[in-house]
Amino acid sequence: MRNRRFVRVAAVVCGLSLLAAACGDDKKDTAGDPTTTTAEGGGGDGGELAGMKGTTPLVDLSDEFKERLLGVDSTLEDFNYAAESYDATVIISLAVALAGDDGIAYASEINGITRGGDKCETFAECMTIIDADGDPDYDGASGPGEFSGNGEPTVASYGVLTFGKDNQLDDELSEFVTANAPTEADVEQVPVVGDRAGDGELKIGTILPETGSLAFLGPPEFAGVDLALAEINEAGGVLGKPIVVDHGDSGDTETDTANTTVDRLLAANVDAIIGAASSGVTRTVIDKITAAGVVQFSPANTAKDFSTYDDKGLYFRDAPSDILQGQVLAEVIAGDGITTVGILYLDDPYGVGLNEDLIAALEASNIEVVESIVYDPGAQTFDGQVQDIVSADPEAIVIIGFDESSRILSTMVEQGIGPRDKAVYGVDGNMGNALGTNFDAGK
């Protein structure tokens, strides 16, 4: 577990060798590759997950950026949402610097930091613009952002990832696509409501998953925050002082961990809280955070109803809405020549919302959804749901889930519809190397 007290983040020493990542710079044509997902399944030799394909908000991270992250945490196996966590930290810091205030006033500057000014790609570059009384337009590690007035990106990059023969993601098969939100999603600035004063020292708390069903996302997200803080503090900090960070666990929706962590962070007078990763967890704490006049900035929430949530202008995210992921995944499936799909989705706001968006996008591509089956992620077995998919006999199966996806896949393999037999697709909640590790371990 991470240290619960405030710490000042020191500069990071980089230069470690690059470990296997969830995405890579090298890509190749997957036509004819035995691990490529097709309507007939993954096929080929090796692991049972070989050929499973899926989408996640992700940019084509450079080796240099990944090495910097590994300088923070050399054990990283996945990089999902690391760039978004890094950018959330930088954007908050720049907004505070521009406002000259760590109180609620800086929230009104956040959206503008991402658009409409002079382009800059690092905290130091953007600060040069701010110090010259200019208007920075931060294009960060996770992409250009271009936030709408409701505090979410209108432009996003997605990684299309594929599992290889070792039940781990094959970097060489990774592809990247850019998605744009509909024009009507670019709304006017949401007014900031509240009057919380600052104290001249920027304090950032986190509610990120150290435990629970999204725990595989915790390490890259914590690393992204810590890397940004180290680099910002090395560049002189904000308001003339180093940023202070207080890390906390979010758990998942089966626990009250997030509420306990938020209570502690608010009592410590933090100015912003980065997290949660889970949309369902955010829903349990967002009202408490915004009522306190504190900014909440998620690097990974994708549930579409946050686009119109009554958040007092204090909730932000640099992960795109699932409206975009539904479109991207449907395009991937259509591109693979699939004509019928069955969906298994977890019963929470993320699963329900993404299922709806995916169905709409699939149908718009003339792909028939023959089954859409909800499941309880806490269930002991998924035999019934998988059998229903077997009976429907779709050409492809989509699993919208978290870490329970490994057990669903084990049941699918047992019933003859695993990735080696059918085309199987995942989403950002499960497309990580932890899925393969849990599958191999029987978890």
What are the boundaries of each domain within the chain?
Answer: 82-151+190-318, 323-441
β pairing state of 272-275 and 244-246: unpaired
82-151+190-318 and 323-441 share one fold: yes
pLDDT attached to residue 45: 52
Q: What pLDDT shows up at residue 182? A: 87
CB neighbours of residue 285 within 10 Å: 24
Q: Using CB atoms within 10 A of its CB, is residue 221 exposed (0-12), middle (13-18) or buried (19+)?
A: buried
Query: Residue 428: what residue type?
Result: D
Give pLDDT, residue 20.
32
φ, ψ dihedrals at 100, nearest 5°: 70, 25
Low-confidence ranges of the chain (pLDDT < 50): 1-44
Q: Pick the closest to residue 253 from 152, 430, 341, 377 (CA basis).
A: 377
CATH T-level fold of 82-151+190-318:
Rossmann fold (3.40.50)
Q: How many CB atoms lie within 10 A of CB 267?
A: 8
pLDDT at 77: 87
pLDDT tens digits, residue range 194-235? Answer: 999 999 999 999 999 999 999 999 999 999 999 999 999 999
- Provide the 10 A C-beta neighbour count for residue 161: 28
The reported pLDDT for the residue numbered 121 is 97
What pLDDT is attached to residue 276? 98
Residues 6+ apart with CB under 8 A from 37: 51, 52, 53, 162, 336, 419, 423, 424, 425
At residue 234, the pLDDT reads: 97
The answer to whether the beta carbons of residues 248 and 29 sit under 8 Å apart is no
What's the pTM value of the predicted model, to 2 decimals?
A: 0.81
**CATH node for 323-441:** 3.40.50.2300
